[in-house]
Amino acid sequence: MIETFARIMLTVSDWAIPIMAGSIVLIAALRKVKIYEVFIEGAKEGFQVGVRIIPYLVAILCAIAFFRASGAMDLLSSLLKPITNLVGMPPEALPMAIVRPMSGSGALGIMSEIIKTHGPDSFLGRVASVMMGSTETTFYVLAVYFGSVGISKIRHALWAGLLADVAGLLSAVWICRWMFGG
């Protein structure tokens, strides 16, 4: 049942962009909007936004890459081990939990690694998959989104984002235990 649902949802994803683009253009044309000129007018902003986020992206991605490569992230993960053991997170999945909010590609790498060594249908493979999907790359999103409009005082955004990450990652583990056993 879930596989059928999944196939339908993936098809919806494939169709989403063409259908959105098609219906926007069609409705705009029916409303007598000058579709080509207006599209170009909007698209012109794309370059500025892309260039504006570069310094913010460089700053955050460099710092995180350095932090990871230096071994500081491993230290952080061994410091957090007692706590995560307490809440029932498998020790193999801990690096995933630490990396997920910081680096999307790093987390994807860890997930692929776990899936390769333990198998995609093992408990660990499922936990890693669900953890990957359970939250977003908070640091990246905050740096890029706030950077794009030039905001430097982010107030409680990081705390709210990290709380959501913790909630997502923990519920990933618990939901897997409940759904798949283990």
Partner 1 sequence: MNYIWGILLLGGVIMAAFTGKMAESTQALLQAAKSAVELAIGLIGIMAFWLGLMRLAEEAGLVRFLTRLLRPLLRPLFPQIPDGDPALGHIVANVAANLLGLGNSATALGLKAMTELQRLNPLKNVASNAMVTFLAINTAGLTLVPATIIAVRSSAGSARPAEIIGAVFLATCVSTTVAVIAVKILEKLPAFRVPSQVTESAGGVVPDPDKPEGGSHD
Residues 120-179 that bind partner 1 (CB under 8 A): 120-121, 125-126, 129-130, 132-139, 141-146, 148-161, 163-168, 171-172, 175-176, 179
| 10 is a contact residue toward partner 1 (CB under 8 A) | yes
Would you say 79 and 162 are in contact if contact means Cβ atoms under 8 Å apart? no
61, 77, 80, 92: which one binds partner 1 (CB under 8 A): 61
**Separation between Cα atoms, residue 131 and residue 99, nearest integer Å:** 11
Type of residue at 173: V
Rg of the chain in Å (alpha carbons): 21
Whichever of 21 and 83 has its CB closer to partner 1, that residue is 21
N- to C-terminal Cα distance for the chain? 22
Residue 86 Cβ, how far from partner 1 at the closest point, in Å?
19
67, 80, 92, 123: which one binds partner 1 (CB under 8 A): 67
* CB-based burial label for 75 (10 Å; 0-12, 13-18, 19+): exposed
**What is the torsion angle, in degrees rounded to the nearest 10, for the CA atoms of residue 61, residue 66, residue 69 and residue 71?**
-120
Q: How many residues bind partner 1 (CB under 8 A)?
A: 105
Would you say 85 and 91 are in contact if contact means Cβ atoms under 8 Å apart? yes
54, 79, 83, 87: which one binds partner 1 (CB under 8 A): 54
What binding mask, one character per residue, do residues 73-112 give for partner 1 by CB under 8 A, x or -?
A: --x--------------------------------x--xx
Whichever of 91 and 133 has its CB closer to partner 1, that residue is 133
